[in-house]
Structure 1
Amino acid sequence: MNDTSLLLRLGVALAIGLLVGLVRGWQQRDEEEGERTAGLRTYTLTAVLGALSALLGTYTNPAFLGLSFLGFAIAFGAFAWLEAKSEQNFSVTGVIAALLTFALGAYAVLGDLQIAIAVGVIVTLILALKQPLHSWLRRLTWLEIRSVLILLAMTFLALPLLPNGTVAPWDAINPAQIWLYAIIIAAISFAGYVAIRIMGSQAGVALAALAGGLASSTATTATLSRMAREHPEASSLLAGGILLSGSVMIVRVLVIAGALNNALVLPLAWPLGAAGFVTAATAGLLFLTRGKGSKEHPRLDIKNPFDLGTALQLAALIAAISLLAKLMSGLMGNAGLTILAAISGLADVDAITLSLARLSHDGISAGAAALGIGIAVAVNTVVKAGMTLTLGTPKAGWIVSGTSLAAIVAGGTAFVFFNW
């Protein structure tokens, strides 16, 4: 290790200590001098101590670093105990932060600098986000926490046990793949569900629509439509929320299909992009013209997608549509897939998207798969427009219906132009 490299590593250790010390010092800025165990200077010096201990250990004995860490832990822990005893403060975060700072300072000398920097930034972010993290935790219920455990069990316990090969007629069903697809879709929906739970009733229509589009654009449409009926003066704004959630659904379909088969990205990008642009642009215009000063805070009633029963139903739906897609493709060709896509789009677009993306690897052409996915999205868009007309106000319904029609025409035109 030359002098330049050593100075760089010591500089990184110093920077990590400064970052951690800045956050901890700012959080304790109201305490008088001498009333806190550690602040900006202490954490900075801790990182330097770790770096020098590691350096001296390389020149003397590696055990020196371990003994130095142990001595620091005992000394810092003793001062933290005295502070806790005096203030009746039982938080151990400061002690853990100090030990991590020492360790990161040592690692900056001995290990990979990029890893040391990345971990230092992560530690700083966790310390800085104390209030938001605690606030989010208070909003979550045991059911949401249990859902995370179910996700982990589905991914790391159940998935490895499932056969990774076709086990049904027509080579249509691969249990491991279908279970993985169910996990992916539920995880995306769960991200939107958690976002809605965290934002709560303080979320505006736009934020709720964005999160709702991830979780379930259909449920979001139903909620905002009923809200429009209750608050007809906000019909334009709520129609914008419905269109925005539909735009998120379109992006979601494109991402899922492209992730499973990148050959679908080009055939889908232009039609879905055109349709999504129309809905998103209209939604943006509605928010700009009608959203100023709005105090509408929708409560989206969306079911937890990681309820075990819901996850099993999703897997069963994906398996059934995969089987039907393979069967109808063999019996009726692309016409059969078109019919199936239209029927599937009445209720859901995820299952047919997954099935056609999988079939496009070896069963059907990318163009046929893209057409089927596009038809499912179009039908689902029409269904949500009908929901808005039925559940909402005429004004909201006609705004959503007119925009949906324009989006379908734009998407269809783009598909024809770029695929034929």
Structure 2
Amino acid sequence: MDMMEAFQRVGLALAIGLLVGIERGWQEREMADGERAAGIRTFALVGLLGGLAGYLGAVSGPVVPAALGIGLMAAFIVFTYRAATPRNDFSVTGVIAALVVFALGIVSATGDMRLAAAGGVVTTVLLAARHSLHGFLKTMTWVELRSALVLLTMSFVALPLLPNRAIDPWGGFNPFTVWLMTIMIAALSYAGYVAMRVAGPERGILFAGATGGIVSSTATTLSFAHISTAEPALSRQLAGAASIAGGLSLVRCFIIGSAVAPALIVPLAAALAPGLLVFVAASLILIGRNRAVDAKAGIELSNPFELGAVLRFGALLGAVGFIARVLVHFLGPDSITVIALVSGIPDLDAITLSTAHMAGSALPVQTAAFAVLIAAASNLITKVVLALGSGTRVYGRFLGLVTLAVMAVGGVGFWLFVNFAG
């Protein structure tokens, strides 16, 4: 490498050390001078040492980096132990963090600089999230831990064993693709569930509606409906929370559809973005200044990563995808609209995934986008019906009016796209 590249690489190693050192120094900012084993200067030097070790290793071989790494580990263990002994709080985290910074410094000098930079950011985030992670572990139940293990098993054990090809004559059922999409949806729902568990229901009705929308907007809407019957005075605010949950369901739909078929980004955004704005504005208006009242409105959502629920969704996804592909093959692309209208009633994710997979191949992009929007509209109407049937009249009426406005502006947005931009 030339001298300019060498300076860039070693400079990145130093920057990684500084980043981690800032976090370490902030965590130990209350300690008196002499009590801190390692702070911003130490970690900056560790990063610089790693960068220089990598640079020297490229010239002299792996002996020098290995010797420096062993010496660093020994020195860090000794000094960390001596600093922690009076306080009786020795932790191996600082030692491991130093070794990671050293290793990232070597990667900066000899490997992909993007990987090194990303590793530095991730390391800092993990170190900074200490209290949040420990707090979550203290409240984590066995069911939640088991769900995480199921996710890992599905991702790294079961998925590689599945054939990555269609096993039917019409190309409608690919076991690998179906299982991968099942993992993606379940993981997305679990992420929202974890966010709600970490933050707690006391954060507010707006937050509960948002995180509930990530987990399941339908379950959130129904849960708020039940709360409205027990607390009729909160019906207006609960409708606002259900609105933000509905808005998050549109965001989820957009992310899933555009991630599978990037060609859908613009047509979906043309309809879903205006609808999201209406949902957000309506939620803020309906909740108003009473968002602190939501301590009563904690929603009860079951763990979305139960194996039975995951398998049922996988079966639904496989069935919807297969039926959609076969009907489109025999009846033509327009048949997907009817499928979307019916499939969107119980679940929006399955038909969104299935339709996005066909966009640009078995289906024209515009037809696929229209089908996804039809499914979204069907799902929104379903939630209004649930609100009217299970909640108070005020709750159902407000949610129905907001949903009608969302569908109207979304329809106008898609019409403008088709006629002027498509």
| SS class of match (2:173) | coil
| SS class of match (1:294) | helix
Alignment of 1:199 with 2:195, yes or no, is no
Letter in 1 for 2:339: L
| SS class of match (2:293) | coil
More displaced 10-residue stretch of structure 1: 236-245 or 167-176: 167-176
Change (3 A) 1:92 1:339: same
1:107-146 aligned within 5 A: 107-146=107-146
**Is the contact made by 2:343 and 2:375 (CA closer than 8 Å) also made in structure 1?**
yes
Residue matched to 1:352: 351
Alignment of 1:264 with 2:274, yes or no, is no
Residue matched to 1:341: 340
**Is the contact made by 2:204 and 2:295 (CA closer than 8 Å) also made in structure 1?**
yes
Q: Could you say which structure has the larger radius of gyration?
A: 1
More displaced 10-residue stretch of structure 1: 71-80 or 45-54: 45-54
Supply the distance in 2 between the matched residues of 1:267 and 1:380 (Cα, whole angstroms).
19
Supply the distance in 2 between the matched residues of 1:81 and 1:165 (Cα, whole angstroms).
55
Residue matched to 1:300: 299
Alignment of 1:374 with 2:336, yes or no, is no
1:122 positional shift: 2.7
1:14 positional shift: 3.9
Residue matched to 2:414: 415
More displaced 10-residue stretch of structure 1: 18-27 or 333-342: 333-342
Residue matched to 2:217: 217
1:3 positional shift: 5.7
Supply the distance in 1 between the matched residues of 2:359 and 2:54 (Cα, whole angstroms).
55
Letter in 2 for 1:357: A
| SS class of match (1:87) | coil
Change (3 A) 1:413 1:92: same
Q: CA deviation digits over 1:259-310, x for unaligned, max 9?
A: 22233334333233333332232123324x3445434353332233322221
**Is the contact made by 1:237 and 1:290 (CA closer than 8 Å) also made in structure 2?**
no
Residue matched to 2:317: 318
Change (3 A) 1:333 1:122: closer
Supply the distance in 2 between the matched residues of 1:57 and 1:177 (Cα, whole angstroms).
43
**Is the contact made by 1:352 and 1:373 (CA closer than 8 Å) also made in structure 2?**
yes
1:277-292 aligned within 5 A: 277-287=277-287, 289-291=288-290
1:314 positional shift: 0.9
> What is the TM-score when the length of structure 2 is the normalising length?
0.87
1:330 positional shift: 5.3
**Is the contact made by 1:51 and 1:102 (CA closer than 8 Å) also made in structure 2?**
yes
Supply the distance in 2 between the matched residues of 1:175 and 1:41 (Cα, whole angstroms).
52
1:20-419 aligned within 5 A: 20-51=20-51, 62-168=62-168, 170-287=170-287, 289-291=288-290, 293-296=292-295, 298-329=297-328, 333=332, 336-419=335-418
Change (3 A) 1:256 1:56: closer
More displaced 10-residue stretch of structure 1: 397-406 or 320-329: 320-329
| SS class of match (2:200) | helix
| SS class of match (1:89) | coil
Q: How many pairs are equivalent?
A: 419
Change (3 A) 1:97 1:163: closer
Supply the distance in 2 between the matched residues of 1:59 and 1:161 (Cα, whole angstroms).
43
**Is the contact made by 1:272 and 1:411 (CA closer than 8 Å) also made in structure 2?**
yes
1:159 positional shift: 2.2
Q: CA deviation digits over 1:175-233, x for unaligned, max 9?
A: 22222221222122222122122222223122222221121100010112222222222
Supply the distance in 2 between the matched residues of 1:387 and 1:276 (Cα, whole angstroms).
20
Letter in 2 for 1:138: K
Supply the distance in 2 between the matched residues of 1:19 and 1:101 (Cα, whole angstroms).
10
| SS class of match (2:279) | helix
Supply the distance in 1 between the matched residues of 2:133 and 2:267 (Cα, whole angstroms).
41
Supply the distance in 2 between the matched residues of 1:163 and 1:112 (Cα, whole angstroms).
32
More displaced 10-residue stretch of structure 1: 328-337 or 234-243: 328-337
| SS class of match (1:310) | helix
Change (3 A) 1:89 1:333: same
| SS class of match (1:209) | helix
**Is the contact made by 1:226 and 1:392 (CA closer than 8 Å) also made in structure 2?**
yes
**Is the contact made by 2:204 and 2:292 (CA closer than 8 Å) also made in structure 1?**
no
More displaced 10-residue stretch of structure 1: 296-305 or 241-250: 296-305
Supply the distance in 2 between the matched residues of 1:390 and 1:51 (Cα, whole angstroms).
65
Change (3 A) 1:56 1:218: closer
**Is the contact made by 2:170 and 2:325 (CA closer than 8 Å) also made in structure 1?**
yes
More displaced 10-residue stretch of structure 1: 314-323 or 216-225: 314-323
